Chains A and B, each alone.
Chain A
Amino acid sequence: MMRVIVTMVLAAVIALPAQAELMIRITEGADNAIPVAVVPFGKADGFQPSENISQIIHEDLAMSGEFKPLPSERMLSLPTNGDDVFYRDWRLLGQKYLLVGQVQPAGGNKVSARYELFDVNREKRIMGETASVAADNLRTLAHHISDKVYEAITGTRGVFSTRIAYVTLDMENGKRIYRLNVSDVDGKRASVRLKSKEPILSPAWSPDGRRLAYVSFETGRPAIYIQELATGKRTRIAQFPGLNSAPAWSPDGDSLLMTLSRDGNAEIYKMDVASRKLTRMTDHWAIDTEPDWAPDGNSFVFTSDRSGGPQVYRMDADGGDLSRLTFGSRYNARPRFSPDGENIFYVHQRDSYFHIARMNIESGEETILTRTKLDESPSVAPNGRLLIYATQEGGKSVLAVISADGGSNYILPSRFGDVREPAWSPFLN
């Protein structure tokens, strides 16, 4: 038994980046995407940074779907600081915003970037900053600048510095190998956090972004684990007879909702993380599962088939005041709240296809967001503007990112096999 535990801990810590990295393919932006020019950043003489920072910013902005960055080969001039900007060059190209900057070594194995953002029509400098990071961390610096630019223009916090967790499934020597991975939102800088021959499911970020709860079948039976990302240390918090699934953190991080069938049938329970004390939340012969807390912590939504097929219900945090939210079709499941608590995103069956839909809780208005056909596992970015989900492409499971108000943005296929079960992290700093 001791040996088994040691092996488990090791498997959780060792990271193999090459295996986990996803490719990215940007599909389309919004029709009203904002034209922005990210001019290639200047470099100090002889300095060769390991990453092309302005290219990463360009890709980040394109990925958001809200911007249409100008290809650099169409630029008429390539200024690297504000004094060299001729607004007319950029007005001619129909650009609304312009980002220029320079990268240089900053001593002590650090690299700094000085950048400035301009409003082309108003001929005005909007923002400028010098930021530095460790030389091997240039993607962090690039995503930081993308976040600043995004926020300065849209007024909403950017999510380029957040991360995603996901599960890959590969066939290796005829065996199924599952990996739990964490990467940047563009699929880069991926690392494996757990590897297993048995299924891994339902990764869920703690609200502080430091831990993941997930379901692993590694012992031969499903159990819920909490893993600290910095150390790889993990704890098995639930392995009751039957189902142990669908962990969902409370907004304060003190408790988890989860689905257990220890009392005979799939019900939702609340577990206090510190004491492991369980409180049963639902009591029905039907399947109750896939809970998600409202951001204010006063209620939660979940899937139940008590009406005959899976539908989304809402219940108060104390277990009272149950109401059914979805009526639009015979299959509506796995709800996830928007960060403002006003909408839910869920899997919705229309004809024989499964799409991601959004519902405004107050009005009940339902909008189908995806055109893909076998969609599942929606997860909302912490700024509420983007949504990641799993779908099928060419017989493989891939991740797709869309705008929360519709429109496809980018696809993240695995280099090898399937990628599924995406979970978008909260803001991380």
Chain B
Amino acid sequence: MIRTYSKLFALLVAMGVMAGCSSTGGTQEEGAYGSDVSAVDQEGGSEVYGGEGSSGVSSQTMTDEERAAQAEQAAQQEQAAMRKITTFYFDFDTSEIKSESRDVLIAHAKYLAANPNRSVRLEGHADERGTKEYNLALGERRAKAVERFLVVNGASRDQIETISYGEEKPAVMGHDESAYAQNRRVELIYQ
């Protein structure tokens, strides 16, 4: 449990650092994303490390069922926290899903599997370098890579729609690597 949380924590910190980098030129979305991270960071931390104290309930008085329920609730909160991350980044001219995206995408896939009435739109994007039409195809390949990953992890293809905008809708304006890194992405949007 602790291990999973620390993994999530590391992930959130990593993503938080990234969002922080963009604070000068960040879009609304980036800003909102940054505040999500810090909120989760605090709540998640207190749940894990200070839960017993703050609840005022001694662990000795808990039944196994309560324990299981609490664990289940914590797990669900963890999954929900992970699902707040909806942007996944890529290296230049690749559509390979980065290792730090995997746990979050699995959380989305599990949620979609458990909620067949929900659906997502995956928007693939590229940075401005290179050619527009190739970048359209690259954005599509990124969106499809995420789609495949979600399907392999339990989501249904019917729940997923993909579209590529190529280099047309950058998340961040700018012509340097820090802008490019934030523009090479797939955005997962619940419909």
A associates with B: yes
**Given known contacts A199-B165, A334-B131, A374-B128, is B137 in contact with A392 (CB within 8 Å)?**
no
Determine which of A265, A289, A347 lies in contact with B136 in the assembled complex, contact meaning CB atoms within 8 Å.
A289
Using Cβ atoms and an 8 Å threshold, which residues of chain B touch A199? 165-166, 168-169
Determine the distance from Cα of A220 to Cα of B134 in the docked complex, in whole angstroms: 20
CB–CB A377/B131 < 8 A: yes
Whether the Cβ atoms of A289 and B163 lie closer than 8 Å is no
Per-position contact with A for B84-96: 1 when CB-CB < 8 Å, else 0?
0000000001000
CA distance in complex: A310, B136 (Å): 13
- Whether the pair A376, B130 counts as a contact (CB closer than 8 A) is yes
- In the complex, which of the residues B132, B138, B163, B175 contacts A377, with contact meaning CB atoms closer than 8 Å? B132
Asked if B182 is an interface residue, CB under 8 A from chain A, the answer is no
A202 touches B130 (CB 8 A): no
Spot the interface stretch: A1-9, A128-136, A241-249: A241-249
In chain B, positions 84-131 with a C-beta closer than 8 Å to chain A are: 93, 128-131
The proximity string for B residues 164-181 relative to A, scoring 1 for CB distances below 8 Å and 0 otherwise, is: 111011000001000000
Cross-chain contact of A333 among B131, B165, B166 (Cβ < 8 A): B131
In contact, A217 and B132 (Cβ under 8 angstroms)? no
> A interface, how many residues as a size bin?
35 or more
Q: Is A331 an interface residue (CB 8 A)?
A: yes
Contact of B93 among A245, A331, A347, A354 (CB under 8 A): A331
Inter-chain CA distance A354–B167, complex, in Å, is 15
A220 to B165, CA, bound (A): 10
How far is it, in angstroms, between the C-alpha of A243 and the C-alpha of B164 when the chains are bound? 8
Q: Is B140 in contact with chain A by the CB < 8 A criterion?
A: yes
Expressed in whole angstroms, the Cα–Cα distance for A395 and B165 within the complex equals: 21
- Which A residues are in CB contact (< 8 Å) with B141? 265-266, 287
Closest 4 CB pairs of A and B: A266-B137, A199-B168, A334-B131, A287-B137
Contact A333 B140 (CB under 8 A): no
* A211-249 at interface with B (beta carbon < 8 Å): 217, 220-222, 242-243, 245-246
A201 lies within 8 A of B129 (CB): no
- B166 CB to nearest A CB, Å: 8
B residues touching A (Cβ–Cβ < 8 Å)?
A: 93, 128-134, 136-138, 140-141, 162-166, 168-169, 175
In the assembled complex, which residues on chain B have CB atoms less than 8 Å from the CB atom of A246?
Answer: 133
In whole angstroms, what is the CA distance A44 to B162 when docked?
65
User: Would you list which residues of chain A between 287 and 339 have a CB under 8 Å from chain B?
Assistant: 287, 289-290, 303, 305, 309-310, 331, 333-334
Say whether B93 contacts A289, CB under 8 Å: no
Let me know if B137 and A376 touch, CB within 8 A.
no
Cβ-closest chain B residue relative to A334: B131
Interface status of A54 (Cβ within 8 A of chain B): no
14 sampled A-B residue pairs with Cβ under 8 A:
A221-B163, A222-B136, A222-B164, A242-B162, A243-B136, A243-B140, A245-B133, A261-B137, A289-B134, A331-B130, A333-B130, A334-B134, A376-B130, A420-B132
CB nearest neighbor in B for A392:
B175
B50 to chain A, nearest CB (A): 42
Task: State whether B137 touches A347 (Cβ < 8 A).
Answer: no
8 Å CB contacts to B: which residues of A6-47? none
Contact B138 A287 (CB under 8 A): yes
- DSSP majority for the B interface? mixed
B interface footprint on A376-390 (CB within 8 Å = 1, 0 otherwise):
110000000000000
User: Do A201 and B134 touch across chains, with their CB atoms under 8 A apart?
Assistant: no
| Partner among B129, B134, B162, B169 whose Cβ is within 8 Å of the Cβ of A290 | B134
Indicate the member of B131, B133, B134 with the most A CB atoms within 10 Å: B133
A303/B175 in contact, CB under 8 A: no
Contact residues of A between 329 and 358, Cβ < 8 Å to B: 331, 333-334, 347, 349, 354
B93 contacts A309, CB within 8 Å? yes
Rounded to whole angstroms, the CA-CA distance of A220 and B164 in the bound complex is 11
**Given A199-B168, A199-B169, A374-B175; A347-B130 close (CB under 8 Å):** yes
Chain A residues, Cβ within 8 Å of B166:
199, 201
Instruction: Using known A-B contacts A199-B165, A245-B136, determine if residue A347 contacts B131 with beta carbons closer than 8 Å.
Output: yes
Output the nearest chain B residue to A421 by Cβ-Cβ distance.
B132
Q: How far is the CB of A155 from chain B (nearest CB, A)?
A: 34
When the two chains form the complex, which single residue of A176, A259, A334, A354 contacts B129, counting CB atoms closer than 8 Å? A354
B140-A242 in contact (CB<8A)? yes
Contact A201–B93 (Cβ < 8 Å):
no
- Interfacial chain A residues near B137, Cβ < 8 Å: 243, 245, 259, 261, 266, 287, 289
Most buried by B among A202, A266, A374: A266
A266 touches B140 (CB 8 A): yes
Return chain B residues, CB-CB under 8 Å to A176: 169
A421 CA / B162 CA spacing, docked (Å): 24
Give the docked Cα–Cα distance between A395 and B162 (Å): 30
| Nearest CB of A to B143, in Å | 10
Among candidates A217, A220, A334, A354, residue contacting B133 with C-beta atoms closer than 8 Å: A334
> Chain A contacts of B93 at CB under 8 A?
305, 309-310, 331
> By the criterion CB–CB under 8 Å, are A259 and B133 in contact?
yes
Q: Kindly list chain B residues whose C-beta atoms are within 8 Å of the C-beta of A374.
A: 128-129, 175
Selected contact of B134 from candidates A221, A310, A420, CB within 8 Å: A310
Q: Are B175 and A310 in contact (CB under 8 A)?
A: no
